[in-house]
Structure 1
Amino acid sequence: MMKDIENGLIDVLLAYQLDRLTRSVRDLHDILDFLEKHNCQFRSATEVFDTSTAMGRMFITIVAVIAEWESANLGERVRLGQIEKARQGEWSTPAPYGCRKNNQKRLEVSPDEIEVVKLIAHKVKEGYSFHQLLMYV
């Protein structure tokens, strides 16, 4: 798409909303500078931005700052939730191969899968590469 913009084939970049395009203020300004350089406009299907004015550029920057903060804040909350689950001995993500989650959401060995895990571990100790393991298993 960026190549098509450079070649003048696209004159409007339409995104559903700004945070679907980027949640980084730095990326936003890079994208807007690129679009301006190549006479391409940015439009949002659900928001009204006029980046041709100082007020419009300020407004879009504020919206981008809020989107970047929301994304970072969500990541922090998810990480803290996972840490708390781990502290309580619970596993919050899907169980890794060779394990399963019991009714208390704690990991336990999966009898159906553990033999494959043991075989892979044995082959790694023998010096098999990941590529060789894929061919073997």
Structure 2
Amino acid sequence: MVVDAVSNEKGVEKEVIFGAIEAALASATKKRSREDIDVRVSIDRETGEYDTFRRWAVFADESDELEEPAHELRLEDAIDLDALAEPGGFVEEPMESVSFGRIEAQAAKQVIVQKVREAEREQVAEEYEGREGEL
């Protein structure tokens, strides 16, 4: 699997790489969507298959208007999607995973490379954090 190869080559945990791929797929899905939506992608660590979900933040606010209707739901509406919905949490609804073209694949690659670089920098910083002041 590609995740194993990148993990071994860069010395970064597999979970970081999976997280980067999920973020990249979510970003590409957002751009491909015709609406301003919040998206979460979940990758099956064994098969590599992924599912895409639209997310809304849940609010108990009883006012008539939400600040960001594309990203928020009132508790009463959220319960229709998930009976266990609570204020301050999220509700999700499965959505169709879109197919990506060349441009989306390139954008996804950039997100993955950026996240892996950030993880590498973090590891180096942690490694030398305790050695500050040594020479």
- TM-score of the aligned structures, taking structure 2 as reference length: 0.31
Greater percentage in helix:
1
Q: Normalized per residue, which structure has more strand? A: 2
Q: Name the TM-score, length of structure 1 as normaliser.
A: 0.30
